[in-house]
A and B are shown apart, each in its own frame.
Chain A
Amino acid sequence: MSGAPRVPASLIGLAGFFAIWEVASRTDLVPGYYLRPPSVVLPKMVTLLGDPAFVRAVVATLVATLLALVIAVLIAVPAGLVLGSVPPVRRAVMTLVEFLRPIPSVALIPLALLTFGTGPDTKITLAVYGALWPILFNTMYALDEVDPLHVETARAFGTGRLGLLRRVALPSAAPFVLTGVRLSFAIALAVVISTELFSGGTIGLGQVVNVASGGGFNMDTVLAGTVLAGLVGYGANAGLEWLHRRAFAWSQPRGDAE
């Protein structure tokens, strides 16, 4: 009902951004030749999407990102459930978690490249590391937010500890977990592309950008790759938000129906 007029409104910011970029690169607001205008970059992006080698690179990046995200979910959700529901484990592990979390994945790229080489395992491993935290924390804190009356109700009907976890805690935490996944997608994508930038010989969007940037003569390709990464992130976020609204309509705040 309110979807139709909202779509253009939500694109005003993006359109404005492209307009300013266009003006900045056409005038001398930004020095140098390297910032190509969107009127060049966007057609270039369309052309590149017709190039099988470029498409293969994009697919490689996307597959690595999705794989990293799936692995991160498989690790972080059970870990979050344990940390959220077993206080002794939480007390024992939280210091380690708070120590590891602020370490940027990109700072681990040199170590990872030397250890695992330039294959896809490296970027996936690093992206898993970066993507873990939002999912872990959202799962863990969602368990703190489980309504005690839901727990009492389930217990009064004879639900045991495992049943409570599976039938009460997990479903009530699910919307928060999905929000964590949404935040983690952008992180995983950024880490995968960053790692590709440094991994000579690998296939991926980051490597395409890195190769094209040599000498500064193909900045339209560099920028096309960069914009595409942004569009992928935007699309994934929009898709996950849509999924959130569809799957968790019950969690939208509202009063009683009358």
Chain B
Amino acid sequence: MNMLEVDGLGHTYKGKDGSHTAIDGLDFTVGAGELVCVVGPSGCGKSTLLRTIAGLIRPSRGTVSLHGTKVDGVPRDLAVVFQDYSRSLFPWLSVTRNVEFPLRSLSRTEREARAVEALAAVGLAAAGKKYPWQLSGGMQQRVAIARALAYRPSLLLMDEPFASVDAQTRFELEDLLLRIRREQDTTVLLVTHDIDESVYLGDRVLVLSKSPATVVAHLDVPLGPVRDQIGTRASEDFVELRAKVAGLLQGGPVSVR
């Protein structure tokens, strides 16, 4: 069953000094439980794509459907993790209160239980009383992920979630994401400009063209559900796929081997 269906999606920003088409004629689907990475060159409209799916921008053309229902406004059961954790967490709220932020409709005890569970899942069980500024960048992004998980979305959108942390933390967070989606069967659409990351994380990789972005290729990633930073990245399949994605991003015809 398709969790997400994107059909002929296009968006044009209209400004005083002309208009700018960020994305155009995008078609793809994401199945339930799938982790799909969208990779594209910088400034190709990846963030626009994500914001239209999240209902934050009304698209100029086309439709987005979430488990069969056309998206109009912000869908109920969708969560977003943004790149800029330091501006996406609320600095006036403690870590626990940040995680509880989207859970207004639940009872207090249920909110607390969800927050405890989500913080434990990202390895921050002891940090609940702290404030975001008291945590490192990697820990802040863990809090943002915990907040999204606590919401139990049917679709988790991630916008360059690991682009602002150092390489070591980035590996840790990538593995954290893989573990969580194995355990919780979350459906994830992750946008990145990092070729290696898209192959390492994805069940499938969608390659976008330069702006206005269209889908250039769908690639299946046959690396299995359990991956590790050293072995997987050294494997033949990984190396071949990343070369393929890199070739597609450069716009040339693909000639691997």
Contacts and interface: CB of A to CB of B under 8 A. Distances in A.
Interface string B75-104: 010111010101110111100000001101
Contacts of B76: 158
A160 to B, nearest CB: 9
B102 to A, nearest CB: 4
B200 interface: no
A152 B132 CA distance: 18
Nearest to B51: A152
A174 B136 CA distance: 25
Interface string A221-258: 00000000000000000000000000011110010111
A171 B92 CA distance: 7
Interface in A93-144: none
A140 to B, nearest CB: 19
Interface hub of B79, B101, B133 (most chain A Cβ within 10 A): B133
Nearest to A254: B133
Nearest to A156: B80
Main secondary structure of the interface of A (DSSP, over half): helix
B54 interface: yes
B96 to A, nearest CB: 15
A147 B87 contact: yes
B50 to A, nearest CB: 10
A26 interface: no
A231 B19 CA distance: 60
Interface residues of B, number: 30
Nearest to A258: B136
B131 A250 contact: yes
A157 interface: yes
Contacts of A248: 92
B140 interface: yes
Contact of A154 (B54, B92, B101): B101
Contacts of B133: 250, 254, 256-257
A150 interface: yes
Given A149-B87, A150-B88, A172-B92, A256 B80 contact: no
Interface hub of A152, A168, A174, A251 (most chain B Cβ within 10 A): A152
A249 B91 CA distance: 9
Contact of A156 (B78, B84, B136): B78
Contacts of B177: none
B56 interface: yes
B88 A157 contact: no
Contacts of A254: 133
Interface of B: 51, 54-56, 74, 76, 78-80, 82, 84, 86-88, 90-93, 101-102, 104, 131-137, 140, 151
30 contacts: A147-B87, A149-B84, A149-B88, A152-B51, A152-B56, A152-B80, A153-B80, A153-B90, A154-B101, A155-B56, A155-B74, A156-B55, A157-B102, A157-B151, A158-B74, A158-B76, A167-B101, A171-B93, A172-B90, A172-B92, A174-B92, A249-B131, A250-B91, A250-B133, A254-B133, A256-B133, A256-B137, A257-B133, A257-B135, A257-B136
Q: Which 3 A-B pairs have the closest CB atoms?
A: A157-B102, A149-B87, A250-B91
Interface of A: 147, 149-150, 152-158, 163, 167-168, 171-172, 174, 248-251, 254, 256-258
Given A172-B90, A257-B136, 9 more contacts: A149-B87, A153-B80, A153-B88, A156-B80, A157-B101, A248-B92, A256-B133, A257-B133, A257-B135
